[in-house]
Structure 1
């Protein structure tokens, strides 16, 4: 079972080596690494050539934002299963993709996801936030629940049936996409109760207060357009994160 891992990157030289080592260390070897570079100027391409997988599928071209880049990468992917792994992320253990592949041996499963840890940018061993996702329930969407997007792997058929990410979003296209997959797309998910990905703090959605406000506005638009609630859902989505910080601090 080929798994396509899509990486959208621009100027990720500093964090790419750690991500690439976690990908190269997977015991599941039928991996296609699809890199969509947005025109890096910091040596990112050199790192990919020197440290990346031998069969990395790399393309450099202009894009209109992160979701446009992701869409370009997904469109180039040839694997049976597609997931994302960006330069600030790393697979948490060598058997993550093997576990993903095993879950997809069940033909009724269209997507899998697991738990996510946010770690300090200057000390990846220090966990700041532990996101224990729990099993999927459609009713939980109205309570602000969502699967951690960096852990989500989907069959190619899901994108063909439901579509790619909406590029009118600059921050919350992943949330909108997941809501669409689960509501209009009726995607059947399997939960893997393991930490699948570790993400460094300081990404686009949490780098500043202004970004958090913008993200909340985009989240609300995604909630309304997918008919899963309103302001109460948005509040519940944000409040649910507080317990993750308490559980994750060390």
Structure 2
């Protein structure tokens, strides 16, 4: 099974080398890295060009933000399955894509565990996201997968379609909701940490972005799940994440 990894970047020279190294370190040989660059003016493309190009597809041109770039990636990838690795994130260890491929042999969608880290040198963990099976009411309960660990078969990607450009910080949430809730696809989890995610992403870098993400997530549930003006998940979704900050394992790698 060929796994395609979409990486969106713009002036990401400070971190993208860690991202690409973690891709090439994967022991799953049948893989592809699709890099969609927004027209970087720093050393990003020089770094990309320094790697063997037989596993890399890349494009560099102005775009209208991360989700517009991801939609380009969905048109470019050639694998049997696809997921996203941000340009400041890394695969946790060399087995990540192999674990994903094995799970996708039995399911349409797979997701797994995620560690939030301060940086990719110390790998100091500040938060742990542990995957849980989809509950009976799914996204209505405040449950959601960790998007950087979320991989789907080509059939799923084609059925779900593009990321919604009307959502500024929660289009990944909306895309996963549509994949899991609307088409009856089989969803599996791994028992492994798949990705190390640097803190400070678009939906978590500030209180305003965090609130904005939850408001847009509610909009998505209202559109696709017929939720009310205020629903249970609006409260339950943040509460589900509280335990991620208080694990006794924090600080270990």
Tell me which interval the TM-score lies in, with the shorter structure as reference length: over 0.9
Q: TM-score of the superposition, structure 2-length normalised?
A: 0.93
Unaligned runs of 5+ in 2: none
Report what 1:243 is aligned to: 243
> How far 1:157 moved relative to its partner?
0.9
* CA deviation string 1:70-122 (max 9, x = no partner): 0101111010011111111111110111111122222xx11111011101138
Give secondary structure in 2 for the equivalent of 1:125: coil
Matched, 1:160 2:169: no
Runs of 4+ in 1 over 3 A off after TM superposition: 51-55, 121-124, 228-231
Paired with 1:103 and 1:11, the residues of 2 have a C-alpha distance of 34
Question: Which of 172, 179, 186 is 1:188 aligned to?
Answer: 186
1:124, 1:200 within 8 Å by CA — same for their partners in 2? Answer: no
Paired with 1:218 and 1:42, the residues of 2 have a C-alpha distance of 32
- Comparing 166-175 with 60-69, which one deviates more in the overlay? 60-69
Unaligned runs of 5+ in 1: none
2:111, 2:150 within 8 Å by CA — same for their partners in 1? Answer: yes
**RMSD, matched Cα:** 1.6
Paired with 1:206 and 1:148, the residues of 2 have a C-alpha distance of 13
Paired with 1:155 and 1:28, the residues of 2 have a C-alpha distance of 16
- C-alpha change, 1:249 and 1:197, in structure 2 (3 Å) is same
Correspondence 1:172-211 to 2 at 5 A: 172-211=170-209
Report what 1:99 is aligned to: 99
* CA deviation string 1:122-167 (max 9, x = no partner): 8542111100111223424221000111001101111212212111
1:142, 1:228 within 8 Å by CA — same for their partners in 2? Answer: no
- C-alpha change, 1:25 and 1:122, in structure 2 (3 Å) is closer
Paired with 1:140 and 1:105, the residues of 2 have a C-alpha distance of 23
Report what 2:90 is aligned to: 90
> How far 1:232 moved relative to its partner?
2.1
Q: TM-score of the superposition, structure 1-length normalised?
A: 0.94
Report what 2:58 is aligned to: 58
Report what 2:132 is aligned to: 134
Question: Which of 208, 216, 219 is 2:217 aligned to?
Answer: 219
Paired with 1:53 and 1:172, the residues of 2 have a C-alpha distance of 32
> How far 1:204 moved relative to its partner?
1.0
Report what 2:47 is aligned to: 47
Question: Which of 100, 115, 118 is 1:117 aligned to?
Answer: 115
Paired with 1:122 and 1:27, the residues of 2 have a C-alpha distance of 20
2:103, 2:189 within 8 Å by CA — same for their partners in 1? Answer: no
* CA deviation string 1:34-63 (max 9, x = no partner): 111011111100111114654311101222
